[in-house]
Amino acid sequence: MRKPRAQANARRSEPPEPAEAKDPDVLDGPRRKALEKQYRESRTAFTHWETAQARTDEQLYRAIGRLAEFAAAVGNDHQVLTDFAAEKGVRATKASSLYTVITKLVVTTDRRKASKYAAVLHLAARQGIEPTPEAVVAFIQEEGGIEACLKRFRDAPRETGTPTRRGRPSAFNQAVARIASVGRSEAPKALQRADLPQEYVLIVGVRGDDGMLQLLHEPVTEEGLVRKAVGALALKG
């Protein structure tokens, strides 16, 4: 016997069964485990340095390098880091930088030092330094120590945004590598400047009335312009 049309339509209009809710902790299990491992290893590195009888600069630099590894493990997933920090009792917002949150999580004995280490990590990332303890140690040593890194970080023009490809050379560093073989000549004495914070600057050339090239004595240090110029030069190689 056929069912009444109204009853059949009513059955067809019934809402579907709700999908089984997935536990976010289960989905995020491997991710959370990886961050927890990085967190513990970073804390251990700083604890060993803080409690060592004969502390060395290299031990501290290596501990900062562990923070760089921690940051690389987070990558661009700021929300995951914010949630992870909240679990550890560290408040973080969308405006909090990656390195600030990482250092606040790990360096709990001195907040001022945590800010310094975050600045060093920012500088290393700007320079395209690989996020490993060995690379960070070499970078800080080459810069002349933490205070020298802080000075360079404060003096350099601020960049907007955060590097998105940690662990790989930045586009700027790749361009620098490509122009390594471009011929160079020593600048005239009037252009010799030891106070410039950057390794690369722009020198503006002006053609004189006699057709000869004249160089302005004031280098351009605005980082965005320097990077564009180096990138454009690398494309010609």
User: What confidence tens digit (pLDDT) does each residue in 76-126 have?
Assistant: 777 888 888 888 888 887 777 889 899 999 987 777 888 899 999 999 998
Whether pLDDT at 178 is above 50: yes
Q: Please tell me the distance from the alpha carbon of residue 26 to that of residue 167, in angstroms, as a whole number.
A: 28
CA 145 vs CA 34, 64, 111, 214: distances in Å:
30, 12, 19, 38
Q: Name beta bridge partners: 220.
A: 202
Whether residues 149 and 194 share a domain: the answer is no
pLDDT at 68: 94
Q: 29-51 vs 57-74: helix axis angle to the nearest 10?
A: 170
- Look at 94 and 195; give whichever has higher pLDDT: 94
Number of domains making up the chain: 2
Whether residues 192 and 123 share a domain: the answer is no
Whether pLDDT at 72 is above 50: yes
Whether residues 41 and 81 share a domain: the answer is yes
Whether residues 34 and 138 share a domain: the answer is yes
Structural domain includes residue 8: no
Structural domain includes residue 78: yes
Task: Look at strands 205-207 and 213-215 and give their pairing.
Answer: antiparallel
Q: Write down the mean pLDDT value for the chain.
A: 76
Cβ-contact 200, 226 below 8 angstroms: yes
Domain of residue 123: give its range: 24-155
Whether residues 118 and 178 share a domain: the answer is no
Q: Please tell me the distance from the alpha carbon of residue 115 to that of residue 233, in angstroms, as a whole number.
A: 36
Phi, psi (degrees; rounded to nearest 5) at 207: -80, 125
Question: Which domain-ending residue is among 110, 131, 155?
Answer: 155
Structural domain includes residue 49: yes
Structural domain includes residue 110: yes
Its pTM stands at: 0.55
Whether residues 118 and 211 share a domain: the answer is no
- Look at 5 and 95; give whichever has higher pLDDT: 95
Whether residues 138 and 197 share a domain: the answer is no
Tell me the mean pLDDT in the region 124-134.
Answer: 91
Structural domain includes residue 3: no
Structural domain includes residue 46: yes
pLDDT at 197: 55
Whether residues 53 and 85 share a domain: the answer is yes
CA dihedral sign, ordered 100, 89, 42, 48: positive
